[in-house]
Each structure stands twice: as C-alpha cells, then as structure tokens.
C-alpha cells in the first residue's frame, strides 16, 4: 500500500514529503511536480506570501534517470521566507529567548485548541504546522499519484464552482478541454461570465477587510467500475475521498454527485438507470450518483465537491483572549489571502489523486508500473465483456 508523510513548518527551512511503495518504472520529473506546485500558488485573491515563495521541489531519493525506483521517494520544498524567520524558528534554545512568542489565539484557527491539546504556551508551535502552507507538500505527494493515474488513462480536473454568493456552471466538455478552460481562468472557473462576478466579490471583501470562501468540484475521468469496496466501511471510495478533502485546511463540507440536493428529491429523480451495449459493457446516461455507488466507482466520472469556509485570518479584527494575560484583544494581521478557493481546488485534485491511486493499487497491486498496467488492462477487458 502506498503511503506518505509530510513534515515542516510554515516558516521553517523547508517542507518535506516521503512517499513509500510507489511502483517502480513510473516516469516523473521535478518539473512535473513544480507545475502542480505553481498551480497551487496561483489564483485571484491570494496574499503577499505568494510574491515571496516560488515553490520548487527537489527529489532527494527514489527517482533516478526520470523514473521511480520502487524505494521511498523523498522530496524537499525550500521556504524562501526562512531567511526572515531563522531566529524565531531556530531549532535550538536561541528561539526560546526571542521575542516571537505568540499568546493571542486567532478565531477560526487551530491556535487555541492546539495549544490546549499539546500544552503549548507559545501558540507559534501550533500555527506553524497547522498553516495551509503544509498543503504544498501534499500537492507534491499527490502529484506522484496523479502521474501514476495518467499512465492508466485516468485524469483529474478541479473546477471552482462558487465564490461567496456567486455560483458558476460547468460546460459539457471532455476532460482535456475542461482542464484547458479551467487553467486559463484566474479563478480556476469554467464559466467566464460568472468569473467576473466572483472577482467583484473578492475585490469587495478586500476593501472591507474581510475574506471569502467558496466551493470547488473535483472530477475523475477514466475509472472502471469496482474501485473501492462495499465490504468494509473504511474501504468505501466515497468515504475515503470525503475524508481526504475534509483534511484540507478550511474545508467544512463535502458532497458526492447530487449530494445534499438528493435529500430533496424523490428516488425516481435521483438514481441512475442502467444500460448495456455489447463491446462497451454497462453504462448510465445520467450521473446523479457522482460515479460512486455502494462505496465503489461505477464507471461514470467521479464528481465530488468541497465547501471552503472564508479564511479566518482577517484584516477586520475579531475578538479573542490572550492566553498569558487573560485580557481580551482584537486579532489582526499584516498579510493574508482574501480568497484561497482556487488554490484549495488544486490541493483537492492532489488528495483525490492520492486516494484514487491508493485504491487502484490495492485492487491491482504490482511492484512495477508494467505489472500494474498489465493487470489494469486485463480488468478493463473483463469489465467490457461482463
């Protein structure tokens, strides 16, 4: 089973990710990962740190000659801002004598519950790791999973479908056309008319010292039926994808297919009827289930959406209590994003890619890409002739 772990603090020297059990023989380059890291940093509404950081990955192990070796892949992403924080974030005792102690928890962040849980009197020990900066390492790990899925003919597209009160449509298009349309948008949106209204909302929030959340959609094309399982709760594909998306900072809701709208409709308007064609196999003309039935892919594109709350670090002060003095204060910031939904959808693509790849490898196994692909193609043939 593939797995990964990330490490590093927001203002530490670097972020790292280690990926284990990736099949050998997978073609991958640093530039491929860097492209995904760049996409994560882009988007209308991002803050000042994106002008400082320009994320680039360095392979430390597990890749040679442009292919994976089957051994752990270690990756490093340097934090350019480290030069300004090396004193405060020094791993030695010198950091404890500095003036960077944080005692004022920000509403909506991990600050207060994290400090209580671990007994920290300096909240910086919490906020440095809880920061969404950590998602850069997850995008790096997810990029390797995405590269594997591409070799199997599976593609993933993330689309921003809502910013604040504005909702956007998604045109009928193939994955390549849809991806090109989305990547040409400053918001990762596929609806140019709605995009301008979204930008207006972001500009208004910036002027008001406020922030905005939104909704992004992840679509996975090319999965055969049967990825995931109905046999045990923790093997259900929709549960795993929902958990992965909910693990992204600021995500507060997830739905698959019709999602919550299905609760308002009769069953005849919810379930997808089944058809069959010789040489093609079973298929559906509608996709209200979002490509997942009974915890397994059903052959239709997987469609899953995530709702992101407004970023809690605001220029408009919110009330809180200093944990050292017990005195009330108004929280404020010097630098923050106004809206990070476009970035979150790229992280969403990465975590979805990881869970899909993990489920595929559980089913097909294989120590090399050749073995995985061979078993994948044999299964595809069986599906078509079932």
Give the number of other Cβ atoms within 10 Å of residue 94's Cβ. Answer: 11
pLDDT tens-digit map of 197-210: 999 999 999 998 88
Query: What pLDDT score does 279 carry?
Result: 84
Rounded to whole angstroms, how far apart are CA atoms 342 and 106? 23
Residue 276 in 3-state DSSP?
strand
Backbone φ/ψ region at 285: left (φ over 0), alpha (ψ -120 to 50), beta: alpha
Bridge partners (DSSP) listed for residue 63:
68
Could you tell me which residue, 332 or 110, shows the higher pLDDT?
110
Give the number of other Cβ atoms within 10 Å of residue 222's Cβ. Answer: 18
The domain containing residue 377 runs over which residues? 3-384
Contacts of 44 (CB under 8 A, 6+ apart): 186, 187, 198, 199, 202, 339, 342
Query: What pLDDT score does 46 carry?
Result: 72
Query: What pLDDT score does 44 carry?
Result: 87
98 falls in which pLDDT band (50, 70, 90)?
low
pLDDT at 35 over 80: yes
**Residue-averaged pLDDT of the chain:** 93
Q: How many domains does the chain have?
A: 1
Query: What pLDDT score does 157 carry?
Result: 97
**Poorest-confidence range of 58-67, 93-102, 246-255?**
93-102
The mean per-residue pLDDT over the stretch 85-89 comes to 89
pLDDT at 48 over 60: no
Does this model's pTM top 0.75? My answer is yes
Domain of 335: which CATH number? 3.60.150.10
The mean per-residue pLDDT over the stretch 217-228 comes to 97
Residue 289 in 3-state DSSP?
coil
pLDDT tens-digit map of 358-372: 999 999 999 999 999
Measured in whole angstroms, the distance separating CA 136 from the mean position of its chain's CA atoms is 9
> Which of 34-38, 182-186, 334-338 has the highest mean predicted lDDT (pLDDT)?
34-38
Bridge partners (DSSP) listed for residue 73:
19
């Amino acid at each position: 089973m593939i797995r990964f772990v990330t490490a590093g603090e927001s203002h530490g020297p670097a972020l790292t990710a280690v990926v284990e059990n990736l099949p050998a023989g997978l073609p991958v380059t640093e530039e491929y990962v860097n492209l995904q890291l760049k996409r994560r940093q882009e988007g209308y509404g991002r803050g000042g740190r994106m002008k400082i950081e320009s994320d680039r990955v360095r392979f430390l192990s597990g890749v040679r000659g442009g292919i994976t070796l089957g051994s752990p892949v270690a990756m490093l992403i340097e934090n350019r801002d480290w030069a300004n924080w090396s004193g405060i974030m020094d791993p030695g005792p010198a950091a404890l004598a500095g003036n960077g102690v944080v005692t004022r928890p920000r509403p909506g962040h991990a600050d207060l519950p994290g400090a209580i849980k671990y007994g920290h009197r300096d909240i910086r020990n919490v906020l440095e790791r809880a920061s969404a900066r950590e998602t850069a390492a997850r995008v790096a790990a997810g990029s390797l999973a995405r590269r594997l899925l591409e070799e199997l003919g599976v593609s993933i597209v993330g689309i921003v479908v809502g910013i604040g009160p504005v909702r956007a449509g998604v045109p009928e298009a193939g994955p390549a056309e849809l991806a090109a349309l989305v990547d040409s948008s400053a918001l990762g949106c596929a609806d140019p008319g709605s995009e301008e209204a979204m930008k207006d909302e972001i500009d208004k929030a910036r002027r008001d010292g406020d922030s905005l959340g939104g909704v992004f959609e992840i679509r996975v094309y090319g999965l055969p039926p049967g990825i995931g399982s109905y046999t045990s709760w923790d093997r259900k594909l929709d549960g795993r994808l929902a958990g992965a998306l909910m693990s992204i900072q600021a995500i507060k809701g997830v739905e698959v297919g019709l999602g919550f709208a299905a609760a308002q409709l009769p069953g005849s308007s919810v379930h997808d009827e089944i058809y069959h064609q010789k040489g093609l196999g079973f298929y559906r003309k509608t996709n209200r289930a979002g490509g997942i039935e009974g915890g397994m892919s059903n052959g239709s594109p997987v469609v899953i959406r995530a709702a992101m709350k407004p970023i809690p670090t605001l220029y408009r002060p919110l009330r809180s209590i200093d944990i050292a003095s017990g005195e009330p204060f108004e929280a404020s910031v010097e630098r923050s994003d106004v809206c990070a939904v476009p970035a979150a959808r790229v992280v969403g693509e990465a975590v979805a890619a990881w869970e899909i790849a993990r489920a595929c490898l559980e089913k097909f196994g294989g120590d090399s890409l050749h073995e995985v692909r061979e078993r994948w193609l044999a299964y595809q043939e069986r599906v078509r002739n079932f």
